[in-house]
Each structure stands twice: as structure tokens, then as C-alpha cells.
Chains A and B, each alone.
Chain A
Amino acid sequence: MDFLSEHQPEMLPGNRRLPATQGVLEAPHGTTIVAVTFPGGVVLAGDRRATMGNVIAQRDIEKVFPADEYSAVGIAGTAGLAVEMVKLFQLELEHFEKVEGAQLSLEGKANRLSTMIRSNLGMAMQGLAVVPLFAGYDLDREKGRIFSYDVTGGRSEEHNFAATGSGSIFARGAMKKLFRDDLTEEQATTLVVQALYDAADDDSATGGPDVARRIYPIITVITEDGFRRLTEGESSELSRAVLQRRLEEPDGPKAALL
């Protein structure tokens, strides 16, 4: 934000002097975020675990945030920095909308996030990387879109589905087998729960649904009507349904062989 950098530069993440550190700094890290498009919108979801080395730092962290009315960000990487980045991103979108009287295009929002990640490169080199996943409903093209990033701020649009974080490889594998072009909103939300389950199954840093503590993934849906976060009840129902099936088939639904 130009005004902020002139007025109070110390408020911006990129402008802080980094203390010299020895070895890897231990700070809570967020893990898996998944996104999938369906005709009419996009679903963005994340597990609830934050890890610090081999310790579970937090069981119920929230890693998916609305960016504005028609987009959302899911964060993987250093939790503290990522949350600040999201806060600043939300502020920028809202500020632009109020001053200009119109929303930024989805493309514009994605580019802005890219610049913000790049400004964190110094931290990323010291092991404090932030790698978000950005999803939104494009009002001009009338469809849901997903953007993924690398630590240097490189931006690429993903088609159909995407994942980021330590469990992303497993989640991507699951989504690859389950994705279809004609998913309904409900099927898409089930798909992300399946993908997160598989990620938690094979990645120790990703948390699965915690039935005992009633901690379930955060699932958000963005359509023409705007951003909506599934209620605790809806999310728990989806997770329980998936869990129930997994009791019979621990590896999840089987895809056709040929």
C-alpha cells in the first residue's frame, strides 16, 4: 500500500530489518490447503493443524480467510507472517474498493498478492516462507478461479484443483482421482474433505478431522452470491460422513482402473 509505505513504513512486512539467526527459527507453521472449482464457483478448504518442528503447536488454527466479498486466501507456511499478510491484503482490497468505488478485478487481486509474497522473500530465505492459495469468483468471466504461488511470488493459475502446504502432494493425488467437470457444490465440498483426509493420512503435519474435540476442516465456498463459510454443523456433517465410509474403506473411494 503506497500510502502506508510513505506514512508508516514499519507497518509493512517487507520493511523490517531481520535479526541475524543461527539455524532454523522455530515458529508455528500451517500445513495443507486445498481448492477445487465446480461449475458456478470454487471451494477453498484447509485443515486445522499448526506444527512447530515435531510438536503440534495448535490444533484449531484457522487458515482460510475471506479476502473480500468474492475471494478467499488459504495460507500455508509461517502462521504469524501469513496471518499478517492476509490482514494487509484484506485491508488493501477494501481500501481500494472504498476509494475507487469499484472492486479490483480478480486478476488484479491475484497480482497484488504476488507482490506481497515477493516482499517476504528475505524472510523466506531464512526459512519463514508464506505460500498461500488464492481462490475467487471472477464476476467478468462468471466462473471460479484458483491461483497458486511459490515463495518468490511467482503466480500461476491452476485449473480444476490445487493444493499447497506439506500435505499438498497427497491431497493433489486424491483430488486428481476424484475430480470431475460436473461436480455440484456439495460434491465439491465432499471432495476437499476427502483430499484433506488423505493428506492427514500420510502427512504427519496435517491434522485430520478430530471427532473427540469437534475440530473439523474449515470449508469456504465462493459463488456468484459471494463468500460463504460452511457452519460448524455443516462441516462436521461432511467430515463424519467421510469418516463413516473410511471405517469400511480406509483408503477412500476407489477410482476405475481403466
Chain B
Amino acid sequence: MSTPFYVSPQQAMADRAEYARKGIARGRSLVVLQYADGIVFVGENPSRALHKFSEIYDRIGFAAAGKYNEYENLRIGGVRYADLRGYTYDRDDVTARGLANVYAQTLGTIFSSAAEKPYEVELVVAEVGETPEGDQIYRLPHDGSIVDEHGSVAVGGNAEQISTYLDREHRDGMTLAEGLKLAVQALSREPNGTQREIPAERLEVAVLDRTRPQKRKFKRVVGRQLARLLEADGAATEAESAEEAEESGEE
């Protein structure tokens, strides 16, 4: 009979964290940042079927980096939580804070359970408020902690470098086109300092737009609208965002 090696709990946890971090780092990064009329999600995603961003509820959006099947599981869980809450009580009683807590519990339990492998995912839960001050962005790392973020946040492989860049460049009250441009710049910086080109068809973009007349504020930005936003100059953005609001109103 062989005796199992003794592994200290500190070491075991460090190993698990290392495992999860490596898994997350393999995926492409994504950026979530505030702009004047809401919150924009930008990421590089070669697949048009497997989304990184999704709607959870009226004002709540979800973004995830890491392993698809794992975060898809969490996403569906989140939609169920939110829909059940909203049906039992009221639509206003579904909040990003509540959802983030549920995610933190789930991730934390899985992370510290010896029977399961830790999830290789990092989530962002964002809620758009009536005003920019009411916006909430929560980042949930693999171990089940919650980080309350302001302005901008990046998760995924190159997150640290992207965050530093975003913190330096992001300012409040940017238009959608400016915000999008900044996000794309941040994502296209390589770790060695060079820039690479990300074509529009490889970008996945979604917004939580507080000016949308519908209750459900989440909207994917695709095709022509995305191309137009990417082309827009900083100067022409005022008219652009007005047009944008009109377009989403038509839908």
C-alpha cells in the first residue's frame, strides 16, 4: 500500500489557482467599459455562434473569458436566476449585485471543492443605471471573489497590460465610437509592445444602452453599424451617437 504524498493546503490552493489562471490566459481578452450612454462590451471572437457577451436581464449584461462550456453553463444559470427572480417578485428586483453574489458563491464553491476541477473562467457582470453614476461593473475571478470596477475592466489572457492601458486612457463621458476605438486599441496591443490589426468581422461588440426606449437595454452591435462606428472620427461622434439612438429605437 502506498501512502499519498502530503500536500499543504496552501500549496493545493496555489496549484488550483495556477491551473485556472493558465486556462483563462489561453483565451482571448475582452474589455468592458463605460461610455456616456451606457456600457460597451468589446472582444475578439472569431466565432459568430459562440458568444462571449450576452443579455441576462433588462439592464444586466454578462461577459466571460475562458472555457466556453463552463461559462455557458454559468450564463444559463444566471438567466434562470434572473428570470425566476423577476417573475417571483418584480423586474426591478433583479440586480447585478445579487447576480454577482450568486456567481461568486458558485465559483467559490467549485474552486474550493476537492472533488471538482476549478472553473477556468473569469466573468464580468455589468448593470447600466439611469445615469452614469448608477452603472455597476463587477469582475469575478475564478476563485469566487468579487471586484467592484469603475470605468473600465479587462479580463482574459493579456488582461493586466490591457487594464493598465485602459486605466490611463479611459475618461468619463466618452461617446460610443470613442469608447469602442479605445477598446480596440487596447485589445490590439501585443505583450511585446507592437500593435496588430483586428478586422471588424473578428470583433464581437455589444452595448447596454440606457437611451434605448425598450425595457431590455442589451443590444449587439453588428455589421454596418459596427463598421460605421469604427470609422467614425472623434469629431463626428456627436451626430453618430444621436443616429445610433434613433436606429436602436426603430427596432
Chain A residues packing against B (C-beta within 8 Å): 3-4, 7-8, 11, 69, 87-88, 91, 94-95, 98-99, 101, 225-226
Q: CA–CA, A41 to B56, complex, Å?
A: 30
Q: Are B84 and A99 in contact (CB under 8 A)?
A: no
B226 smallest CB distance to A (angstroms): 18
Q: Are B80 and A3 in contact (CB under 8 A)?
A: yes
- A-B interface, 9 closest residue pairs, ranked by CB to CB distance from nearest: A95-B83, A98-B79, A91-B87, A98-B55, A99-B79, A99-B76, A3-B80, A91-B83, A225-B250
Q: Can you show 21 pairs from A to B with CB atoms below 8 A apart?
A: A4-B84, A7-B84, A11-B87, A11-B88, A69-B251, A87-B87, A91-B83, A94-B83, A94-B216, A95-B79, A95-B80, A95-B83, A98-B54, A98-B79, A98-B83, A99-B76, A99-B79, A101-B51, A225-B250, A225-B251, A226-B251
B:34-70 near A, CB below 8 Å:
51, 54-56
B150 smallest CB distance to A (angstroms): 27
B:214-230 near A, CB below 8 Å:
216
A91, closest chain B residue (CB): B87
Give chain A residues whose Cβ lies under 8 Å from the Cβ of B251. 69, 225-226
Give chain B residues whose Cβ lies under 8 Å from the Cβ of A88. 87
Chain B residues packing against A (C-beta within 8 Å): 51, 54-56, 76, 79-80, 83-84, 86-88, 216, 250-251
B84 smallest CB distance to A (angstroms): 7
Q: CA–CA, A3 to B79, complex, Å?
A: 12
A101, closest chain B residue (CB): B51
Q: CA–CA, A88 to B216, complex, Å?
A: 17
Q: CA–CA, A91 to B32, complex, Å?
A: 28
Give chain A residues whose Cβ lies under 8 Å from the Cβ of B86. 91
Give chain B residues whose Cβ lies under 8 Å from the Cβ of A8. 84
B224 smallest CB distance to A (angstroms): 18
Give chain B residues whose Cβ lies under 8 Å from the Cβ of A99. 76, 79
Q: CA–CA, A136 to B87, complex, Å?
A: 23
A125 smallest CB distance to B (angstroms): 26
Instruction: Contacts A225-B250, A226-B251 known; list 13 others, CB within 8 Å.
Output: A3-B80, A8-B84, A11-B88, A88-B87, A91-B83, A91-B86, A91-B87, A94-B216, A95-B79, A95-B80, A95-B83, A98-B54, A99-B79
Interface centre among A8, A99, A225 (most CB of B within 10 A): A99
Give chain A residues whose Cβ lies under 8 Å from the Cβ of B87. 11, 87-88, 91
Give chain B residues whose Cβ lies under 8 Å from the Cβ of A225. 250-251
A97, closest chain B residue (CB): B55
Q: CA–CA, A46 to B146, complex, Å?
A: 48
B88, closest chain A residue (CB): A11
Q: CA–CA, A88 to B51, complex, Å?
A: 27
Q: CA–CA, A98 to B55, complex, Å?
A: 6
